[in-house]
Structure 1
Amino acid sequence: MKTLDGWMAERMGLAGPLTRPALAAWQAERLREAIAYARAASPFYRARRDWPAAAIASTADIARLPFTFAADLSRNDPPLLALSQADVARVVTLPSSGTSGPPKRLHFSPEDREATIDYFVHGMGLFTRRGDRVAVAFPGGAAGGIVDGLAVALGRLGADCRRAAPPFDPEALAAWLRAERPDVVVGAPVPLLAAARVASCAAGAALRARAVLLSSDHVAPSLARSIGAAFGAEVFQHWGMTETGYGGAVDCAEHCGCHLRENELLVETVDPDSGAPARPGAVGVVVVTTLRGRAVPLLRYRTGDLARLIETPCRCGSILRRLDGFSGRASEAITMPGGGALSLPRLDDALFAVQAVSDFAATFDEGPPATLSLSIAAPPALHGGAVLEAVRARLANDTVVGPAVRERRLSLELSLADAILFRREGKRRLSKREAAECARRC
């Protein structure tokens, strides 16, 4: 199996070993082609009138291009689709991130899908061996979807893909993982943690794997440690989204950032407020340009995800840029009374360090008084007041929540949920009730 750098060099037609100057020159040429293609084939980009007058000479010039927003995908007027429907292999509909509004609809050509599968082969190949049994614990199995793509990729690696089947609850997932005895597990972090918490309370063999890949949601450091300890496994992380064709960036054995899929994506980070390029080493909003996307080309798409872009080579020897410091969604951070930002990743890191916590739901009321309400999920065998005491103690040590509680700027309301894992539509979120809404409700 080639390294990611070797595979990308081959895909880009570059002689190895891959270097940053050669990669940057290749990306600049693909960027010019991507702009020309989008402006010619996509009605949305063809209708734009805010293009820069000067030509794009290098990847650094990308900052002169206008952004594309999630609202543009949802509105789809003019359409972003650059192919005829007859040339589309798969359509994915994503619900709006808000409470209303049209969904985002993404289209993929056969070439787009094959590029993603090829990436899965080499990304999974970082920790998957020929003959491995790989448990894929993602719900849903639509034809041509992510689970199908993983199955095809694992087949090319000579691994045996085992797919989780409904019901997709912690007890069933724990029993399935125990029966399958996988070498590698792939899934969303919180459901896997909930299954591990359940298994730790039940009689029978412990869950075990050599490696676990966590994807589709933020991975708090404490959550990764808990899953690694529960499975006795090395934990890897993946960042991606439907807009990137699922594949985006993957962790290596050095665990110092996720290596970007730079043969398909040009990634920037920008200041959340000004939109200017983020300072080196600073966390910013991840902005993606698809360099070879055919169905829906995206130019400077503001993903809303917060992360840090690392430009220096990795200890593993790769020259690919990396993302780390994932900090949730830019739109969801809440400014606390007296200062400091409250976010779901911050709560994740505090709460998932508590051994009994398998999930939680969080709501912030502006007040007055400002209140953080937490409903804590845990396996029945671990229920009890000690869980809430441990949660309260963890939050007391948090550098944002702790001082706000001690200075009576924030009230905590904790309760135990009658659940092990909350059922949700879409991604986990930190809910917020603004003062006007709270007044009506109260």
Structure 2
Amino acid sequence: MALPFPDLWLSRRMGLADGAIPSRAEFEAWLADRLAELVDHARANSPFYARHLDGFDGASLRSLDDFSKLPMITPDLLGAAPERLLCVSQDEIARVVTLTSSGTTGIPKRVFHTGEDLAATTEFFSRGMANMLGAGETALVFLPGERPGGVGRLLDEALSRFGARAETFGPLEDADAALDRCLDLGATCVVGSPAHLNLLALAYARRGPTHGPIRSALLCWDTVPDAVVRNVAGIPGCRPFRHWGMIETGLGGGVECAPGSGMHLREADVYVEIADQDTGRLLPDGEFGEMVVTTPLRRGMPLIRYRTGDVGRILAGECVCGSPLKRLDPQVRRVGDGVELGAGVLRLDELNELLYGLPGVGDFAARFDPRFEARRATNRLSLTICGQVEREDVFAALRTLPGVAASLDCGALELEIQLRDGRRPAIPGLGKRRLDTGSER
């Protein structure tokens, strides 16, 4: 029987003989050794890490528990002076990526990748994508791909290793045009953000009895709501797979080996701990907390216990595929991704499931404005809904959320709903869906 793709990838990454799959205990012993080597490398080559990790060395790190005692680093380092994290000459850097958070005025983060980093991501993509399409087939990619080291080019190189190809369409701007291109190419796989692939699924539904060749879809780039997974599964014959990754860690971070199984983490390259966001205490599998990541084999710009600002959890138990790699719950969200409405709290994940779950809704954008009047605080939630849906149906659905209903009833909240064309995204480009607030202008 063929081995699951996570195991094939892990065996190669650990330098094992083909088909030799480690137990979880064997993998963790190997990982602890790599983390110890990483700490020594960082302390020897980065003045920042030499100070930050003063008092620690590889010899003192005999287990993952020992490693968890190291101090964390925060994202502001990638904005203020990312060069301080470099452990190689800048001549060895193949690509520098600048990250600007949508809706904020913070300093953009910069991340440095070596050629070896990009090659490792390509290898992971190749193993994972081989689970979704085969030789001679095409994936249509709704992500950037024009620059060297961009995700589109990495995917095309990854697919070429097993005889498939990727065509980069770029961010979806018109769902009907995107669907036409899918059908023209005979694409058997589509790759894109949840919002864009949800719009594509809606275009299929509008088209009626169209049965294209799409058999799989990789949902990535942003949080993937369950409602979107269900909608994409409505494309005739299509199996959706979810992916989690960060540009800081070299994109690929975790992907489902089978729909609904949870996302197998790329632990040899992206080691994930779950910590209490207030105390830093590690949490057991099954509990939600802040995701803290380390890049064990990365030598150019290693991240050691990097606080991501994402909330997630490791699923308890073993996957049905038997892989020793742990699985991330697909429901990843941002720390503080919620707003106080006046008589309750609204979280973005609630809004995602509710609105993408409404028939006919392709996409949405949300803005929350706290406004203060003479006698009381009045908050406004403004929604732009792209799709074929009645304003009254959106309003009625929102009232099923207790925090929204209570805030409306006591006069602390007003709703503004605008309807738009269901072919186009509510937010241009690849902006992530979030609850924009008045303080982020």
1:17-57 Cα deviation digits (max 9, x unpaired): 32111011001000101111111112331232665599222
Deviation at 1:199, TM superposition (A): 4.3
C-alpha separation between the residues in 1 aligned to 2:355 and 2:348? 10
The match for 2:304 is 299
> Is the partner of 1:230 in helix, strand or coil?
coil
RMSD: 2.5
C-alpha separation between the residues in 1 aligned to 2:147 and 2:250? 15
Retained in 2: the 8 A contact 1:185–1:211? yes
- Is 2:404 aligned against 1:391? no
The match for 1:353 is 357
The match for 1:45 is 49
Letter aligned with residue 67 of structure 2: I
Q: Normalised by the size of structure 2, how large is the TM-score?
A: 0.89
- Is 2:7 aligned against 1:5? yes
The match for 1:170 is 175
Change (3 A) 1:254 1:164: closer
Deviation at 1:162, TM superposition (A): 2.4
Retained in 1: the 8 A contact 2:219–2:241? yes
C-alpha separation between the residues in 2 aligned to 1:166 and 1:183? 18
The match for 2:232 is 227
The match for 2:123 is 118
Moved more, 356-365 or 74-83: 74-83
The match for 1:286 is 291
Deviation at 1:266, TM superposition (A): 1.4
Q: Normalised by the size of structure 1, how large is the TM-score?
A: 0.89
Deviation at 1:10, TM superposition (A): 3.1
C-alpha separation between the residues in 2 aligned to 1:51 and 1:400? 48
The match for 2:366 is 362
Retained in 2: the 8 A contact 1:186–1:213? yes
C-alpha separation between the residues in 2 aligned to 1:273 and 1:337? 25
Deviation at 1:424, TM superposition (A): 4.8
Retained in 1: the 8 A contact 2:142–2:171? no
> Is the partner of 2:322 in helix, strand or coil?
coil
C-alpha separation between the residues in 2 aligned to 1:263 and 1:293? 10
- Is 2:329 aligned against 1:324? yes
Deviation at 1:307, TM superposition (A): 1.1
Deviation at 1:6, TM superposition (A): 3.3
Change (3 A) 1:134 1:179: same
Change (3 A) 1:165 1:146: closer
Deviation at 1:80, TM superposition (A): 1.3
- Is 2:59 aligned against 1:69? no
Retained in 1: the 8 A contact 2:88–2:300? yes
Deviation at 1:211, TM superposition (A): 0.8
Letter aligned with residue 354 of structure 2: A
Retained in 2: the 8 A contact 1:270–1:285? yes
> Is the partner of 1:13 in helix, strand or coil?
coil
> Is the partner of 1:346 in helix, strand or coil?
helix
Change (3 A) 1:355 1:207: farther
Retained in 1: the 8 A contact 2:172–2:429? no
Deviation at 1:279, TM superposition (A): 4.4
Change (3 A) 1:171 1:44: farther
Retained in 2: the 8 A contact 1:361–1:376? yes
C-alpha separation between the residues in 2 aligned to 1:372 and 1:58? 48
> Is the partner of 2:361 in helix, strand or coil?
coil
> Is the partner of 1:414 in helix, strand or coil?
strand
Q: Where do 1:85-234 residues align within 5 Å?
A: 85-96=90-101, 99-164=104-169, 168-202=173-207, 205-234=210-239
Question: Percent identical across equivalent pairs?
Answer: 38
Change (3 A) 1:280 1:8: closer
